[in-house]
Amino acid sequence: MQNSTQEQLYLEFNRQVTNLITKGYSKLLNSKPTEFVNLLEPIKEKLPTLSLPQLDIEKGILPFVIVIKSDSIPAETAMEAVERNGIKGVTILRPHTSENFKIIEGINVPHSNFYLLINIDRGKETINLPPNEAIKLIYKRNRSPLTIDEGIAIVTHYPEFLIKNNCFSLLGSRTGTDQRVPAI
């Protein structure tokens, strides 16, 4: 059973890597596909050490996604590579750009430009809550709010994760000048 679970994790990891290559990430990083795969190898090695939930899109649960930070590929460029039902992703953050949004204090994001976001929950219990109330509930459950890069990674690998009447806010990214919260 354990080997089967590990095998599924590796298959999913490889699917996501292929997805990123298909979407042009290796070209955007000026690397060949094989070089891109090698860049992601260190995070693949972490899979056997993680305790991950089962994939359940309907309930809004994902075991993991590969995140590429906007330091490597700008958020606007990454969002353009997202596609759902033939519609490409767009970024509208007026009057700001994604560069204006910084990770809020208290969130621990790996220093590497490539990392695994694990144990993802769409947050059904936070639907329609104001951001400041939602973030309190997220912290109370020992979870971390999503950043812009993480939200984009989720819809890059699982566009079907975004469902009608259940967008998700990226509370982990703020401008610092106002209370605006980006959302997908």
**135: in domain:** yes
Contact between 48 and 6 (Cβ < 8 Å): yes
pLDDT at 7: 87
Number of structural domains the chain divides into: 1
Please count the CA atoms within 13 angstroms of the CA of 15 that sit on its side-chain side: 11
Output the pLDDT for position 1.
40
Q: What is the pLDDT of residue 137?
A: 93
> pLDDT, tens digit, for every residue of 21-46?
999 999 999 999 999 999 999 999 99
Sequential pLDDT tens for the chain (184 residues): 456 778 889 999 999 999 999 999 999 999 999 999 999 999 999 998 888 888 998 898 999 999 999 999 999 999 999 988 887 887 777 777 788 888 998 898 999 999 999 999 988 888 888 888 999 999 999 999 999 999 999 999 999 998 877 778 899 998 877 778 888 8
Residue 160 structural domain: 2-174
The answer to whether position 179 is within a domain reads no
| Confidence (pTM) | 0.93
CB 169 within 8 A of CB 183: yes
Is 180 a member of any domain? Answer: no
Prior bond to 130 cis, omega within 30?
Answer: no
From CA 79, how far away is CA 102, in angstroms rounded? Answer: 17
User: Would you state the pLDDT for residue 183?
Assistant: 83
Segment 57-61 long-range contacts (CB within 8 Å, at least 24 positions apart): 57/158, 57/160, 57/161, 59/122, 59/124, 60/121, 60/122, 60/123, 60/124, 60/161, 60/166, 61/120, 61/121, 61/122
Given this model, what pLDDT does residue 61 score?
93
State the DSSP string of 21-56.
Answer: HHTTHHHHTT--HHHHHHHHHHHHTTGGG---PPPB
Q: Tokens 């519609």: give the residue.
A: 87
Note whether 63 and 54 are within 8 A (CB). yes
**183: in domain:** no
In the Cβ-directed half-sphere of 145, how many Cα atoms lie within 13 Å? 29
Angle between helices 33-44 and 2-22 (to 10 degrees): 140
Is-contact 157 83, C-beta < 8 A?
no
pLDDT given at position 182: 84
pLDDT number for residue 3: 63
Residue 127 included in any domain: yes
Residue 20 belongs to some domain of the structure? yes
Q: What pLDDT score was predicted for residue 118?
A: 95
Q: Is residue 181 part of a domain?
A: no
* Domain assignment present for 23: yes
Question: Which helix H or strand E contains 65, and what residues bound it?
Answer: strand 61-68
